Amino acid sequence: PPRVFSGVQPTGNLHLGNYLGAIQKFVALQHQHECLYCVVDLHAITVAQDPNELTRTIREVAAAFIAAGVDPKKNIIFNQSQVSAHAELAWILGCTARIGWLNRMTQFKEKAGKDRENASVGLYTYPVLMAADILAYRATHVPVGEDQKQHLELARDIAQKFNNDFSASISAKGYGDAFFPQPEPLIQGAAARVMSLRDGSKKMSKSDPSDQSRINLTDDADAIASKVRKAKTDPEPLPSESAGLEGRPEAANLVGIYAALAGTEQDAVLKQFGGGQFSAFKNALVDVAVAKLGPIGAEMKRLVSDPASIDAILKDGAERAHAIAAPNIAAVKDIVGFVR
């Protein structure tokens, strides 16, 4: 049966890219599938985090899932470090993954920067932990933004190599032909890659030093309006067809954001606003952004003001996640040949 898994790092400043690329899709998927949505705190500490701030942001990400509309009763919302399967399976899969595969990961190169010798070992093996997150539940579908595509491909390679390396044991022990499914990335829509509001060639990111570059989920209506109105554009009016957005990354980004927020297509947006002044389009974008994000931000603030309730949701989620992962980890140990 299909099973959805995705994760979001608690590293502060959840933004419109996280919402449109991932969280909004989490909400849509919950109606058809069994879904696990994870606050990946083990991933967060691959770069230094302030402990008090980490605690706060773990709760904030859980609150964002719920505020956006993910039902914590119907779905499993939990915190990665509360389910030991992730770290356990990451070790075993780290022995399946090859150094050459990890050396090709572009996100590690970006995050480690020039001083690679000084990056944490965890930052390097980050994608193995991500594969373990997904495969511990034998998840089949993974909604993510475009920036996670390479990591998902690696997870598929790891799943396949494990199945191949242990194929004899898998079938001898009665687990069928292949133990892990090939997890399928769900990367679609106008906003699979939301760009910075200041620079259409850079993705919108939690770590951009300029707060003007992103719309945070907790921004109020004034902040959203001011950031959209100041967003970089070019002097041309909007085109009436998609082809006219070629070579205009900032305009294309704003049109994509509008389409994703309004639940429509880029072409429909251009039909409506093409030929008109950019300022009129920006006003309409402010309206749709405030209408969509305002209630989510307000609900997030309300939820985080009661940390005990969020912690109870995370604890319940961890227990339910553990119940799914535990037999899978037991099977993996059996397949590998460990004595249990």
User: Least distance from C-beta 35 to ligand TYM, angstroms?
Assistant: 12
Bridge partners, residue 142, by sequence: 185
Check binding of 12 to ligand TYM (CB under 6 A): no
The amino acid at residue 216 is N
User: Is the CB of 150 or the CB of 309 nearer to ligand TYM?
Assistant: 150
Tokens describing residue 322: 């553990």
Residues 21, 217: Cα–Cα separation, whole Å = 13
Check binding of 208 to ligand TYM (CB under 6 A): no
Bridge partners, residue 34, by sequence: 3
Let me know if 203 is a catalytic residue: yes
**Is 294 labelled as part of a ligand binding site?**
no
User: Segment 140-159, which members bind ligand TYM (CB under 6 A)?
Assistant: 142, 144-145, 147-148, 151
Let me know if 111 is a catalytic residue: yes
199: Cα separation from own chain's centroid: 22
Check binding of 193 to ligand TYM (CB under 6 A): yes
Q: Would you mind telling me the total number of residues written for the chain in this entry? A: 340
Q: List the one residue out of 331, 308, 322 whose CA is nearest residue 36.
A: 322
Check binding of 43 to ligand TYM (CB under 6 A): yes
Check binding of 134 to ligand TYM (CB under 6 A): yes
User: Segment 86-105, which members bind ligand TYM (CB under 6 A)?
Assistant: none
CB atoms within 10 A of CB 278: 19
Give the active site residue among 203, 227, 282, 292.
203
User: Least distance from C-beta 131 to ligand TYM, angstroms?
Assistant: 8
**Is 9 labelled as part of a ligand binding site?**
yes
Spatial strand order in the sheet of 141-143: 76-79, 34-39, 3-8, 141-143, 184-186
3-state class of 94 per DSSP?
helix
Check binding of 186 to ligand TYM (CB under 6 A): no
Q: State the residues that interact with ligand TYM by CB under 6 A.
A: 5-9, 17-18, 21-22, 40, 43, 130, 133-134, 142, 144-145, 147-148, 151, 192-194, 203-204
